[in-house]
Copies of this chain bind each other. A is one copy, B any other.
Amino acid sequence: MCVVCLAPATGYNFDQITCESCKAFFRRNALKSSNVIKCRCNGVTDINVHNRKRCKACRLAKCFAKGMRKEWILTDDEKRTKKQKIEENRRLRQLQNCQTKTDEENIDNSAEEEEESVQNALSVQCDTCLISSQDWITLEKIQCAYAQSVKLNSLVGLPLYPSTRKLSTPAQMVNEPTNIHSTRLITYFKQLPEFCELEEDDKLTLIKHNLLGLVFIRATLIYKPANDTYQEYGTDDCIFDGKDLIECYGEQLYKKSTQIMCSFIDIVECDRLVVKIILIIMLFSKGYSTCTIEYPEPVLKNSTQVFQSQNIYVDLLWRYCEEKFGFFNTIKLLVRLITLCMAVESVAKETQQYVQSKLTADELAPLMQSVMHLS
């Protein structure tokens, strides 16, 4: 028995026993300001099942009078979190189904086959989602590419976790951690179709001019603020001590680098995927922060293509963030990321200048010569 309209009730809704219709009515109207819903009957309507449609104001007033609680209506934020969880579960279940099926049918699990079936599993569209199933595949691939980039470049000739590798010269700093990051980044990027489709020259240009900044951003993913160390997630890579930067690059650069790591911490802790996408976006960037007047920026052969590739990932990042954090938070996050990326560019440039002033090409690994513009 609905306390508002006396219709048969379905149970408690927003803290009172109500019917389905009063529940829906309350959810739709309780949060509207009172001057939107005006009473045309001077409040005389005594709501029942037959006249409940006659006066919205009276009906809503009775809802509140009977003690229905608008605080129990989920906020947009809560709805988003819930929806996200549902989406995640759905995808998980579908993947599991698919996995089980594959196992049962005893199909050999070659990479391609699996990829294919993932697509099938995810082909269900969610209309209200900003993220299409195609986007999910792209995101999965990004995750996968990143994981592969680590797996395919395991370290040789260095101690294993939990040993700490001590670095004490600029050359070591460049040839070990920076080189490792760079190699993995390149492997990461090579798995992106948009990058592969670029002209060879443009690939080299982007790598040469953006990689050093990207190394810093990538480092945020493996930085452990608690003890100021760097260690690649889920590998037996050795530990690098952040403090070694002081000896290798000087106090100044140590401070700046560490500040950047710390600024990224909460983003990284909250969502590593965001940073992985930012890496891609910054790769396709034409900022050329590392250019100087003596080394002017080379012209991209197909800058439109680069710009469009970047746009693809900017769009993706935007939609991903909006879906996950809401549009308002996304704005804030992106403004912060941009600020941070600028800071990164600045530190990268300083680092490059420092290395150029201390080292010569023959002291550096081949890739590092190019990254430091010392070739």
Which A residues have a C-beta under 8 Å from some C-beta of B? 15, 32-33, 35-36, 40-41, 54, 71-72, 127, 252, 256, 281, 285-289, 291-293, 296-297, 310-311, 314-315, 318, 322, 327-328, 331-332, 334-335, 338-339, 341-343, 345-346, 349-350, 353-354, 357
Would A297 and B33 be within 8 Å (CB), given that A315-B335, A327-B327, A332-B311 are in contact? no
Chain B nearest CB from A43 CB (Å) reads: 13
Find A293's partner among B327, B335, B342, B353 (CB 8 Å cutoff): B353
Of A72, A318, A339, A341, the most chain B CB neighbours within 10 A belong to: A339
Given A15-B54, A252-B296, A342:B287 Cβ within 8 A: yes
Q: Report chain B residues within 8 Å CB of A341.
A: 338, 342
Distance, CA A214 to CA B297, complexed state (A):
20
Which of chain B's residues have a CB closer than 8 A to the CB of A353?
Answer: 292-293
A334 and B339 within 8 A (CB): no
- Measured CB to CB, the closest approach of chain B to A345, in angstroms, equals 6
| Cα distance, A357 to B343, chains bound together (Å) | 23
Known: A256-B296, A318-B327, A327-B331. 20 other contacts (CB 8 A): A40-B72, A252-B296, A256-B297, A285-B338, A286-B346, A287-B338, A287-B343, A287-B345, A288-B342, A291-B346, A292-B349, A292-B350, A292-B353, A293-B350, A293-B354, A310-B339, A314-B335, A318-B335, A331-B334, A335-B338
Question: Inside 8 A of A256's CB, which chain B residues have their CB?
Answer: 296-297
Residues of B within 8 Å of A285, CB to CB, are 335, 338-339, 342
The residue on B at minimum CB distance from A285 is B339
Interface of A is mostly: helix
| In the complex, residue of chain B having the shortest beta-carbon distance to the beta carbon of A344 | B287
The 29 sampled A-B contact pairs (Cβ below 8 Å) are A33-B127, A35-B127, A36-B127, A40-B71, A41-B71, A252-B293, A252-B296, A256-B297, A281-B335, A285-B335, A285-B338, A285-B339, A285-B342, A286-B339, A287-B338, A288-B342, A288-B343, A289-B346, A292-B353, A293-B350, A293-B354, A293-B357, A315-B335, A318-B335, A331-B334, A334-B338, A335-B338, A338-B338, A338-B341
Query: When chains A and B are docked, how far (Å) is the Cα of A369 from the Cα of B30?
Result: 60
CA distance A36 to B128 in the complex (A): 9
Quick one: which of B35, B40, B71, B335 contacts A310, CB cutoff 8 A?
B335
Chain B residues near A354 (CB, 8 Å)?
293
Contacts of A293 in B (CB 8 A): 252, 350, 353-354, 357
Contact B287 A339 (CB under 8 A): yes
Query: With the chains together, A293 CA to B348 CA distance in Å?
Result: 11
Minimum C-beta distance from A353 to chain B (A): 5
Contact check, A286 vs B343: say whether CB atoms are below 8 A apart.
Answer: yes
- Residues of B with C-beta under 8 A to A32: 127
When distances are taken between beta carbons in the complex, the residues of chain B under 8 Å from A15 are 54
Cα of A343 to Cα of B314 in the assembled complex, Å: 15
Question: Which residues of B are found within 8 Å of A345, using beta-carbon distances?
Answer: 287, 289, 342
Q: Given A127-B33, A252-B296, A335-B281 in contact, is the A349-B289 Cβ separation under 8 Å? A: yes
Per the bound structure, the CA–CA distance linking A331 and B322 in Å amounts to: 10
Q: Across the interface, do B318 and A331 meet the contact criterion of CB distance under 8 Å? A: yes
